[in-house]
Amino acid sequence: MAQPDTRSDAAPLGVDPDWWRQAVVYQVYPRSFADATGDGIGDIPGVTSRVGYLRELGVDAVWLSPFYPSALADGGYDVDDYRNVDPRLGTLDDFDAMVTALHDAGIRVIVDIVPNHSSNRHVWFQEALASPKGSRARDRYVFRDGLGENGELPPSDWQSVFGGPAWEPVGDGQWYLHIFATEQPDLNWADREVRDDFLHTLRFWSDRGVDGFRVDVAHGLAKGLPEVLPSAAELAEIEKLADGTHALWDRDEVHEIYAEWRAVFDEYTPPRTAVAEAWVAASRRARYASADGLGQAFNFDLLEADFDAAQFRDIITFNLEQAAASGSSSTWVLSNHDVVRHATRYGLPARGTGPDRDTVKSGTAWLLSGGTAPVLDEAGGLRKAHAATLVLLGLPGSAYLYQGEELGLQEVADIPAEERQDPTFFRTDGGEIGRDGCRVPIPWTTSGPSFGFGAGGSHLPQPAGFGASSVEAEEGDPASTLSLYRRALALRHELQGAETLEWIDGDGPDVLAFRRPDGWLIVANMGETSIPLPAGEVLLASDPVDGAELPPATTVWMRAAG
């Protein structure tokens, strides 16, 4: 296993409080990144062993999905203990060593914090189960009496996000709320002890040198459950109002919690940062990004859009306005651990022209067929992915990349039912395929038992041809996706702090073109026919550009002539 990279030419981290505004953040899904122990599960020493790779890729920060002790009912988003490392993934000492190695390489560290729910194995939940109705221990969660004579019916007909009922009985007439899996009981954020404990957790990781937090389900913490609960149908209507009155999501009071978090973040130099995962109406996102709160919020708009110039332009314009209004910088995302990889999304039929693009999350007909439905255009999808990525990396704001996208990995469709792990698959009886296909351990070498992921196997099966997309296969190939990402990230460091852009019109509806304040032009041909290449020097092209034409599904970064 390679040693951590300790070369001294990495940029010193410094104390710039704005380091995150234009950062490229690389998401590591620890169990599927690199396995140093050979047990088939990626781990913290595995991340440390790949610091050299991350530095060479040119990322500014790493965001680690949960690595805490967990039964893995939801890939680690069911946390048993917020202030420890899963023993299968390492120790706190391993964590400290990883932070040091990343910092020495000039890379910041962001950890995932999961405040909406704990796991059902958390000491608090075990105490709640062992304690009677009305006890202090039950107050830390959302318990309700069941309906019916003996509480044998759930308090409401609400469904969990992963399918199936959102209430689980505990045997004494009471039920607890779990918006996600049964193993993820929702915490009661009206409880002072819950709030204080998370402040403790934020300090715990900040004291260990963590630079920021990705806040899971940030819009879910504050709940407003009236005596008589609305039905699921009524809730769906209230959700459309997007006015802060929904019982579960995006209530106005949630920002009081984040004001307390901000006070903790500001105890540090530079202040710790945070980015909200908040699936809320676009008009309400800026509240999460406020400087008095978390400071930044994901926008998943590009990830949900088609490969379409008009859609991209509207989304970019809107989000830059939103970011300017909140004082934050925008966030751009095309892939993460919850959605079908973008190289695959773009290779499936466009939304509205087939059943296969209905959702980016799961359940596409192609995935349900195990990848045998003859609809995926892999090469076309990858080409569009390259083009969309160069748009993303050319935009003002911070870019969030997901491990393996820099290799052009496709979603893995043919995972046998008995090897699937995502609760979505089980809670919908396989009706929704779930998110395992983007969580398959990434290939580092062209061959070997798990393509260099580790010395042993792989906790999700890798496809036979994975080696062709490995780091080893791609790093010497100037035409590879990895080479494109490396060049793009290196060039991006030359762009200076600009947070605005100017649209350039006149090339037709399929062309997205803008000029950055530093003078660079970004031109994406998102249509199906070539267009004339604008005058100037091509700095980078998402796929080869010969002569005076910009081919379909191609983006160029240019320095304008003269």
Summarize as ranges the residues that interact with ligand GLC (CB under 6 A). Answer: 74, 77, 114, 180, 216-217, 277, 337-338
Looking at residue 356, the DSSP 8-state letter turns out to be G
State how far the Cα of 78 lies from the Cα of 95, in Å rounded to an integer. 19
Instruction: Give the CA angle between residues 196, 202, 203 to the nearest 5°.
Output: 90
CB neighbour list of residue 57: distance below 8 Å, 6 or more residues apart: 26, 406, 482, 485, 486, 489
The nearest distance, CB 559 to ligand GLC, in angstroms, is: 38
Given the residues 211, 216, 356, 436, select the one marked as catalytic.
216
Q: Kindly report the number of other CB atoms within 10 A of residue 91's CB atom.
A: 14
The nearest distance, CB 179 to ligand GLC, in angstroms, is: 8
List the structure tokens of 300.
């998943």
Kindly state the helix (H) or strand (E) to which residue 513 belongs, with its residue range. Answer: strand 511-515
Closer of 337 and 383 to ligand GLC (Cβ): 337
The nearest distance, CB 181 to ligand GLC, in angstroms, is: 8
Closer of 114 and 248 to ligand GLC (Cβ): 114
The nearest distance, CB 561 to ligand GLC, in angstroms, is: 44
Given the residues 145, 252, 267, 292, select the one marked as catalytic.
267
- Please say if 304 is a catalytic residue: no
HSE-up (13 A, CA, CB side) for residue 13: 20
* Segments in 29-179 forming alpha helices (H): 44-49, 51-57, 92-104, 123-130, 136-139
State how far the Cα of 233 lies from the Cα of 244, in Å rounded to an integer. 17
DSSP string of 43-65, one letter each residue: -HHHHHHTHHHHHHHT-SEEEEP
CA dist 151 → 169, 176, 179, 186 (Å): 9, 12, 20, 20
Closer of 313 and 427 to ligand GLC (Cβ): 427
- Please say if 267 is a catalytic residue: yes
The nearest distance, CB 124 to ligand GLC, in angstroms, is: 17
Indicate the residue type of 436.
D
Residue nearest ligand GLC, Cβ-based: 77
Burial of 544 by CB count in 10 Å (0-12 exposed, 13-18 middle, 19+ buried)?
exposed
The nearest distance, CB 280 to ligand GLC, in angstroms, is: 13
Closer of 78 and 474 to ligand GLC (Cβ): 78
Closer of 114 and 409 to ligand GLC (Cβ): 114
List the structure tokens of 449.
């038992």
The nearest distance, CB 459 to ligand GLC, in angstroms, is: 16
Closer of 344 and 421 to ligand GLC (Cβ): 421
CA dist 238 → 26, 162, 242, 252, 455 (Å): 36, 20, 7, 14, 52
Closer of 20 and 162 to ligand GLC (Cβ): 162
Catalytic residues: 216, 267
